[in-house]
Structure 1
Amino acid sequence: MVSIQNQVVLVTGASSGIGMACAKAFAATGAKLILAARREDRLQTLATALKDEFGVESYVLVLDVCDRNQTQTQLNSLPEPWSNIDILVNNAGLSRGLNKLHEGSIQDWEEMIDTNVKGLLYVTRALVPGMVERQQGHIINIGSIAGHETYPNGNVYCATKAAVRAISEGLKQDLLGTPVRVSSVDPGLVETEFSDVRFRGDTDRAEKVYQNLTPLTPEDVADVVLFCATRPAHVNLSEVLLLPTDQSGATLVHRRSP
């Protein structure tokens, strides 16, 4: 495990779920965290918790990655010593709805595309030139099994995660000849707020997604993200597909009898 102590790590979507778990995993190594998300209160609470538990400083960045101008302005005006980002965890993302394409909500489509694809691109475009210039950096994109396998009623969400996979592959090709690394960590079922968001707060429906099986936890995904980031400089884990034992495909899950 290569030390990343004092390296600057920016995590988008850091206010909950996988993003929060990643922040904690990196803080435990002594890295410096830029916590980016829209919910300032949650970010401030997390920053305080990281300081208390790990003794690390965090920079709270209230950011909507869907807003191109805001993203560019905020990321290009980070103060010292936060401006030179070593590791970017592109985690911000969401799913909305579970409908047949011809019955889907265009507003839902736009929200997923704006966050999962365009938001990831805006952040990446703002930060990667500095990594190339400094000859140091690592981009870790949080994808999904949905980027490998389309499932019924998942149409546009699956398309956005397939885009993340393609962007990760294309970025790695474009960075060939530089020491900047690119990884995509693609989990299956993870019990977070994901299903609550997808079903707009229908908790009963969300809970059924994980009923009678053991899903991944955010910490499971964060462990893999940290593993990618702490390999020797000559090692690039380009793609990791991470599934719970109770899952063998996008729609293939084993549910135990209640």
Structure 2
Amino acid sequence: MKISRKATVTTSILLAAGLALTGCSSSANPSEGGSGASQESESSSGALTKDNFVERMSAAQLKAGSVHVKMNLGDAIEGDIEADMVISDDPQKVQMQMTMNTGGMDSDIRVVDGKMFMNMGQVTGGKFMDMSAMPGGGGDVGAILNQVNPGAQLDGFREALTDFQVDPKGPEIDGVKTTQLTLTIDTKKMFEAQPQEGVDADALVEALGDTITYDMFVGPDDLPRRIVTPDIAGLGAATQDYSAWGTPVTVTAPGADEIADMSALHG
């Protein structure tokens, strides 16, 4: 079965959504093994504000180094989506394995060693596509990995942020008390700051609206526990839950015999 360029770009966007966790990364470059500050000192440094939440959450995420993510994308995609991630301020060191069961199809998407592999079940003959081996695919993979570049994310995020509200008495999630941050993002500025090859930003803005408002629930250790995006384009609220911070994660690239012949699949 042939796979269109549109299908691969759509899947790339979904993968980018999975990597959105590091969208709040800072341009700071902490030393290997963490930010150098304890979680106690981070949480005792006062309330999260528009001016400090990016740096504080970035330091906490880089210190933790890994996370498990469970996604519910509302009516946009039905099924289970989960991912284990290794977080790094070097995009080439980011690792992720995302498993999906959507529309009765099991998928396995992996990011490792700067490459992205997709196994979309019967669509790919039970094998992985090496996205970097597809015509133009290397550019798509590079764009996705660059989205987790801390400096680029920091500049783009701040440019697009139009409103910031904080409630220190957010709900308790998995036994953790949270602070609720309500953020409003200018959609056009967000896509302009993080352009993707082959993606029509104007069409996405028209579909999503001029702004996107979402709620981020952050623990006392400055780590996100949940992000909720309310009803985008009538598709229902999307929720991402974060757990198992700091639990070791290893992502293995598929073997040569598990990779599909791209010339037969690409159309």
Task: Give the structure-1-normalised TM-score.
Answer: 0.28
Q: Counting strand residues as a fraction of each chain, which structure ranks higher?
A: 2
Q: Counting helix residues as a fraction of each chain, which structure ranks higher?
A: 1
Task: Give the structure-2-normalised TM-score.
Answer: 0.27
